[in-house]
A and B are shown apart, each in its own frame.
Chain A
């Protein structure tokens, strides 16, 4: 059966078999307004039937010029803008930014502040992973996990509200420490919450992890080689789900992580299920870390004295934290003024997104959603 292929201007292939059957690839525009592109990602996909033959992500719909904004704000004012980068984990973003400034100034926050940072970072990681898992369930058509996840996340947001005055854009970290000490009974509330969360996570595990449909939708879908993962620069749960044991909290420990050992969870499968499961296990690990931080919480000051007009010395610094999505790095160049001369973010979502077109080729259209959901990207960080 001789076939005759032809490619038109849009890059769509028309196949004309000798039997008179003419098939044409279909161009499908997924997004930017689509329920499961996690914001405003746009995917231009070429489909042959329901099989994906090509995929091009188009980004930039949420571009706010974040790096430029940071360069035009004083360093203290910049902390607040970091909240909007990866809007699901503001605490982690702030820690990265503040850490870069501290590294530039060669200062070390007090131990208590470091432990507070660890505690809030781990809570934030839980919140972010909860959204990741919940929306992943939603992408695959299960409506319950997302609502359970958001119910639990609500507890974390309430704790943040009690701590920093704001639920979402907390603006809690400061150069040299944190903004406030804990309110009365905050730690007790936090422990109660962690107990509830642990129970709820078992429920979530029972609902989703062992589900036949969930497993058959995710296992073997979107396979990433460990070598491929390293070559694409993936970090975070996406890398650990491909069998590479790399976690900045362990391999390049910073702040209180130098004293608190972290267990990493690695899976060898490299598929969507592995990515989901690594996130689920990291929540368990984060709960443990929170408890450790509460137990070991040292006394003392929560912040060093820093000048109101912060003028870091001339120089450059790169500071990376293990964010919920991967390695979140902040690169600062200071010219000795109150403003960073250059601020550059290494957003893990942006880098994790690059492998998506590679993964989608050959899969069905429904799998595109499963693969995209498993990368757990946040468009605020991709577009910046």
Chain B
């Protein structure tokens, strides 16, 4: 609309000059820088994570991992990508062609799109970073992934793929709910903090934008005038990060993140010991690599969102102070620092992903569902209730009382949760397995049981009519 007004009131060369000014403008440059950084990060981080995963798991399993490509095996991922690019793209003859060819793209595209609302530093962020409904956008994008998986499972015309695709659909939809409910606790915290001195936003109105939630966690420092303290704590207040007040929600979010990204112990859709490779069985070459890229991209997103919502985002010592000094030299250093802190947090959380994969066996499909619906859902709902209740009871008192009480309750409930999981998984599993056991007990063998004679089994008595 703006362009139209300009075109009406000014000659065309004026309009062209304005356009050029806009392109050469700081904002456009920011867009280019941010786009290249984020896109480059997605694509390279997958290869880095693959290598990191292999090396870290190797370290945990008492072996060396890749060693022969490049120094200490560092170029292994590069070689892998080269191999995948050169590999023949095999298409299954009786596959549903459209579905088969399209599904890697459907899987991969939302992963890249989701990064639009994740700023990497004060400067390196797409215009979408300011999107006020960032979390909704993220959840919507991660839901689209399911469609890609189902398309792959159906289109491959393979039974293993089909089972994998259907498992994945059930799993991703089930875990989306507790994931979103885990966000709610954080959003409630932001609405309590909004409008307090030093905090952004209007009183009582929280935020669902990752960038603003990050600001809420890092606004507790007030300018003191002592140089070194200001330098460190300006915009970096780890004592008000939300994982301190909602640790249980961090754990649950992280668990759901594992399930969303199909990582162990929730890697049922591609369980290699059961389904060969699940929905990816029939894919090869770069199409397979796109699934892989998407998966590791999902892992990065899950970690990034966790770091935004619970671990203070890209905030770190010096970032705010330096970027406030001016856009050029110190601002540049500040942005690089922020990028460093952010990537450090992401990879730290990804390390936990890998660690879990090296430790835990895989759940079964029905146990997976039970865990989501019978444990995670009630716990997240209860958390929302408790947060609201604590606020209601302490609303007359200063905010720090609310936060302290909430933190105390939540940390206590972390241990309660661990106890609960231990109890409930075992008992519900037994309950679920009872029919199978009963069926087996009913179907006793036709041959009657032999009597035991001091540990020596007697000769098995054959039923009457059968000849010896």
Contact = CB atoms under 8 A, between A and B. Distances in A.
Interface of A: 26, 28, 34-36, 50, 137-144, 147-148, 151, 207-208, 211-217, 219-221, 223, 225-228, 230-232, 244-246, 251, 358-359, 361-369
Interface in B406-449: 421-422, 425-426, 429-430, 433-437, 439-441, 443-445, 447, 449
A354 B273 CA distance: 22
B163 interface: yes
B52 to A, nearest CB: 16
Contact of A219 (B163, B273, B430): B430
Given A212-B425, A362-B439, A365-B163, A251 B361 contact: no
Contact of A231 (B359, B430, B445): B445
B457 A364 contact: no
A207 B435 CA distance: 30
Contact of A230 (B276, B364, B439, B460): B460
B456 A251 contact: yes
A36 B274 contact: yes
Q: Nearest 6 CB-CB pairs, A to B?
A: A141-B362, A227-B449, A142-B361, A216-B429, A140-B361, A36-B273
Given A231-B449, A246-B457, A359 B361 contact: no
B260 interface: no
Q: How large is the interface on B (under 10, 10 to 19, 20 to 34, 35 or more residues)?
A: 35 or more
Given A26-B159, A151-B62, A230-B460, A141 B445 contact: no
Contacts of A227: 444-445, 449-450
B9 to A, nearest CB: 65
B63 interface: yes
A362 B361 CA distance: 22
B61 interface: yes
Given A216-B425, A369-B274, A232 B159 contact: no
Contacts of B443: 358, 361
B271 A28 contact: no
B360 A211 contact: yes
A34 B276 contact: yes
Contacts of A216: 363-364, 367, 425-426, 429
A274 to B, nearest CB: 13
B265 to A, nearest CB: 6
Interface in B158-214: 159, 163
B295 interface: no
A251 B60 CA distance: 42
Contacts of A151: 62-63
B57 interface: yes
Interface in B337-381: 357-367
Contact of A220 (B60, B359, B437, B447): B437
A225 to B, nearest CB: 7
Contacts of B439: 361-362
